[in-house]
Chain A
């Protein structure tokens, strides 16, 4: 699984960080950082949850 964020869509509202802080972090500069582009299998469910809960549909997954 590869995590891809479309930064043109992302509005740094940190929803994804709330769900999977190991993978997503919004810092003080109000920018989103992807901490782990290839998260472990144990995180996949939460990353998928972040994909559907991202209000801007900014996160996608590649194989």
Chain B
């Protein structure tokens, strides 16, 4: 593409803002239109289940740094309006208020929304955005007698921890045999269950939810489980995963399959790139389509696609091949995973029982593929670097053991 004049970004959050900032840093002087369906200036989501929900932080503290002074980057902000359609031939994005915007380059950074239960009474919450967090925080402020968390993924586990630290009575229900089965191995998942039990959460594993029932006042009263038991609850939080925000792209010609499908350089269509939670690209490091729902990936990929768009005329852009990394804070534990888990797990530092350790993962062929660290932050970052350098398991043992 020869010198784009107008770049449109759909999704005014972490990945989209990072892309905008990167465009400006790369001296892009054309116009940047940032479209976001939330009325809020971009804010950071991780504190929503942590400091904000705990009541320790107020909203001002959530604003993403690059949006503290909204005029700084010279962006054309369009907040509170959704993109509703894309025309690849005309290079236009249609908006919910009837307007259309034309692009030379388009960045899809529209993230994902929380999955919920098909129908449920009031008192049942999900947590993805600021409005959700405000509602849930107010519900916790009323001091409910019992909180029930459905789904022990990261969001569920963090909400359970925060609610417990607020002194509330918490039950966490997970249909799988261990928490966090989608991202961790069963052993580490059970360590998460143990962490919550030590803090007094009633953790129920391997049991599904049949129904969420309302009481006489119409509000949620109990959760019926598949094993016939019931959990009384005044507040229910559903944390059963997210769905990429791709509905508005249906029929546009962009390939959609659990996210916006991209090549290894995050290109989804001519002059269209995707980043963050919505992007499913071919990460050459793993040789498969990958969609990552993690903070650091949104920042990294947002920056990558901005450069990718500007350099598109250039020869063979480098593929986007990061080693993923995320953290989760639960109680006083900092849980970090660099890379991915694998079938062979080995603790090389500390122990699961101390809840301070480094566990290495290898795949079937014995290749070092990931490291999980609890309250060992330095080792987590070191592990990430070792993975980037494709270090072997012995090298990782030597560097991270202790």
Contacts and interface: CB of A to CB of B under 8 A. Distances in A.
Given A26-B377, A52-B21, A13 B299 contact: no
Contacts of B381: 13-15, 17-18
B377 A30 contact: yes
B8 interface: no
Given A18-B384, A57-B65, A12 B377 contact: yes
A14 B296 contact: no
Interface in B371-402: 377-378, 380-382, 384-385
Contacts of A52: 18, 21, 66, 299, 303
Question: Size class of A's contact patch?
Answer: 10 to 19
Interface of A: 11-15, 17-18, 26, 30, 48, 51-53, 55, 57, 60
Interface in B292-336: 295-296, 299-300, 303, 327, 329, 334, 336
Contact of A13 (B44, B300, B377): B377
Contacts of A12: 377-378
A54 B385 CA distance: 16
Nearest to B373: A13
B377 A57 contact: no
A55 B377 contact: no
B378 A53 contact: no
Contacts of A11: 329, 334, 377
Contacts of B380: 13-14
Contacts of A13: 327, 334, 336, 377, 380-381
A53 B21 CA distance: 13
B129 interface: no
Contact of A26 (B296, B300, B329, B378): B378
Nearest to A28: B378
Contacts of B336: 13
A11 B327 CA distance: 11
A17 B378 contact: yes
A58 to B, nearest CB: 10
A30 B66 CA distance: 28
Interface string B61-78: 000111000000000000
A48 B384 CA distance: 20
B143 interface: no
B385 A18 contact: yes
B26 to A, nearest CB: 11
